[in-house]
């Protein structure tokens, strides 16, 4: 059966200062799945994530949302509000943790009593309830990342983009992220994740796309990997790729 494509790009070319950093004929994000983008340093993972999440609209080629072509010259605010991004280096705003988590709901004009309830609920799930009144600037790296995850999830995005969220975290925080992340994401959510973490890939991935030199080297669903590598195990295969 054909998988549902929620985002698709075709004939993508991204050139920076005369250097082609992305050159992709076709790539699709599968709906309600964990889509992993992997590859070595400088292979174009973040550049592709920025295009898929509409953070970057300056590129050659077409991008489609549920089969409908997106006009890159427009702001596409309504569509962007359906997306959330978790960055490698969390960017937090001046103000306390509550303010930071609540912001996406405020921007959507949600009633204050509902905001209070949702923020407390989300903070509880990420085990940062005790930090709600603390200034975001005084948080540790792990606490900052948890706050940014809470902020990304609070608006219940249709697509969650994650760019190497655990790279700067210590072992304990990585363990927390890996063991809680699948539960924080709802079944209706689509996830696009750039990651080097083999455990994450092994435990979460539905589709894996390998980039090399700005090109898609391979895209496969996890079932195809299992079929092809029966006996070898996905871990061995991923080890050779990243
Ligand atoms: N604005 C820019 N100007 C010039 N070169 C750029 C620009 N943005 C990205 N690049 C280059 O494009 C290539 C791909 O970068 P990108 O950040 O997408 O790679 P990546 O796979 O995410 O790498 P990493 O794993 O190191 O984060 C790199 O060689 C990078 O130096």
Query: Residue 178 C-alpha to ligand 1 middle, in angstroms?
Result: 26
Of the chain, the percentage scoring pLDDT greater than 90 comes to 67
For all residues of the chain together, what is the average pLDDT?
89
Ligand 1 atom closest to residue 39's alpha carbon, by position in its atom list: 21
Return the pLDDT at 222.
77
Query: Residue 41 C-alpha to ligand 1 middle, in angstroms?
Result: 8
Q: Report the range of poorest mean pLDDT among 46-55, 94-103, 169-178.
A: 169-178
Domain ranges of the chain: 5-82+157-241, 90-156
* pTM to 2 decimal places: 0.91
ipTM over 0.85: yes
Query: CATH number of the domain at 5-82+157-241, please?
Result: 3.40.50.300
Q: Looking at the predicted structure, is the pLDDT value of residue 227 above 50?
A: no
Using a 6 Å CB cutoff, which residues line ligand 1? 16-17, 21, 39, 41-47
Q: Report H helices in the chain.
A: 45-52, 77-80, 97-107, 112-125, 141-154, 171-184, 198-204, 222-228, 234-241
145: closest CA among 170, 165, 121? 165
Query: Residue 88 C-alpha to ligand 1 middle, in angstroms?
Result: 14
Q: Looking at the predicted structure, is the pLDDT value of residue 157 above 50?
A: yes
């Amino acid at each position: 059966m054909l998988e549902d494509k929620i985002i698709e790009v075709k004939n993508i070319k991204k050139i920076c200062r005369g250097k082609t950093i992305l050159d992709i004929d076709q790539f699709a994000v599968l709906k309600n799945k964990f889509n992993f983008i992997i590859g070595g340093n400088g292979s174009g993972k973040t550049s592709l994530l920025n295009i898929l999440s509409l953070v970057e609209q300056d590129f050659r080629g077409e991008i489609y949302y549920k089969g409908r072509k997106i006009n890159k010259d427009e702001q596409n605010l309504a569509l962007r509000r359906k997306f959330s991004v978790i960055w490698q280096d969390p960017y937090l705003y001046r103000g306390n943790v509550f303010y930071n988590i609540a912001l996406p709901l405020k921007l959507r004009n949600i009633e204050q009593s509902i905001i209070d309830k949702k923020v407390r609920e989300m903070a509880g799930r990420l085990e940062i309830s005790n930090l709600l009144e603390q200034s975001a600037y005084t948080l540790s790296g792990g606490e900052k990342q948890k706050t940014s995850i809470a902020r990304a999830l609070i608006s219940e995005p249709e697509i969650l983009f994650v760019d190497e969220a655990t790279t700067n975290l210590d072992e304990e925080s990585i363990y927390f992220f890996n063991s809680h992340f699948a539960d924080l994401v709802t079944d209706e959510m689509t996830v696009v994740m750039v990651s080097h973490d083999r455990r994450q890939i092994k435990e979460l991935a539905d589709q894996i796309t390998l980039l090399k030199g700005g090109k898609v080297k391979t895209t496969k669903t996890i079932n195809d990997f299992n079929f092809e590598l029966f006996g070898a195990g996905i871990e061995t295969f991923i080890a050779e790729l990243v």
